[in-house]
Amino acid sequence: MDKLRFGTAGIPISTPQQHNTINGIKHVRTLNLDCLELEFVHSVNISAQKAPEVKQTAKEHDIKLTCHGQYYINLNSQEKEKMEASKYRIYNAAKIASLCGAKSMTFHAAYYMKQAPELVYQKVKENLKPVLKKLQDEGHSILLRPETTGKATQWGDLKEIIKLSQELEQVLPCIDFSHLHARTQKNNTREEFQEMLTQVESKLGRVALNKMHIHLSGINYGEKGERNHLTLTESDMNYQDLLKVWKEFKIKGIVISESPNIEKDALLLQNYWKRI
């Protein structure tokens, strides 16, 4: 990555005319933002035939694309049918995103389902391997990025995802700092942000800090973790210190706003980044 880019989780709300991906990419550039996440959270809504047009439009407007895979994924499912469906959903979203020119695809990998974290880790790892092999065999070099999750019942704290990234080729973290805050009711101070990025650099190297895929929003949470997303100014998310730490670590990559007003908070973050 050439710099830290800021953008929206999906088509900006203020996109004029028809609310579709092509117009969304163009509007992201009009807003002077630099990236957009394709939202495949309910379904993969771009066809293989349409993907080249998406890729060309993003290239023409210098917009970097990422992708968020479907919510209906659990690599720790106890049912073979659901497990195979989960693997296919990761593969299919990554394939279409790759055809669109995206370099990074994130997803919520699994639930603990009251099992030992070490056992769940191994199941996630083993079930991700054939997905990676199929993508590699077909020439798709897109990075798969399990996302840090917002509830303690969901697999995916930072250490687990860093470890998986160490052990599997073509895997890196998607760090949702809001989720980590909600998951623990901590992880919201400058020192904690520094510790997280130190973990990334020490375990995965400088290259990981140059290819960051970040989600950020305000967040409402309770004892069980994440409840819902908020705008940054409505929440206690300490985004100003967080961005100062990003600057300190000289990170590059993509920051996706997942606030209810996606472009407003993307611009807030980008403008603050430029000021510091």
Q: What percent of the chain has pLDDT over 90?
A: 99
261-271 pLDDT per residue, tens: 999 999 999 99
pTM recorded for the entire structure? 0.98
Q: Are 111 and 155 in contact (CB under 8 A)?
A: yes
User: Which two tokens mark 127?
Assistant: 């079930």
CA-wise closest residue to 38 among 25, 29, 27: 25
* Residue 138, pLDDT above cutoff 90: yes
Q: Above 90 in pLDDT, residue 97?
A: yes
Per residue in 246-256, pLDDT (tens digit) is 999 999 999 99
Residue pLDDT, tens place only, 5-21: 999 999 999 999 899 99
Encode pLDDT of 35-63 as tens digits. 999 999 999 999 999 999 999 999 999 99
Question: Taking all residues of the chain, what is their mean pLDDT, rounded to a whole number?
Answer: 98
pLDDT of residue 1: 85
Report which of 56, 54, 52, 51 is spatially closest to residue 11, judged by C-alpha positions: 54
Count, residues in the chain: 276
At the fourth CATH level, the homologous superfamily of domain 4-275 is: Divalent-metal-dependent TIM barrel enzymes (3.20.20.150)
Residues 6+ apart with CB under 8 A from 84: none
Q: Report how far residue 142's alpha carbon sits from residue 45's, in angstroms, rounded to the nearest whole number.
A: 18
Distance CA 157, CA 154 (A): 8
pLDDT at 79: 97
**Axis-axis angle for helices 239-249, 262-275 (nearest 10):** 50
3 state SS of 181: helix
Please name the residue that has the structure tokens 């985004």. 239
Smallest Cα–Cα separation from 235: which of 177, 164, 168?
Answer: 177
* CA–CA distances in Å: residue 70 to residues 8, 56, 86, 164, 274: 17, 24, 9, 20, 33
Domain borders along the chain are 4-275
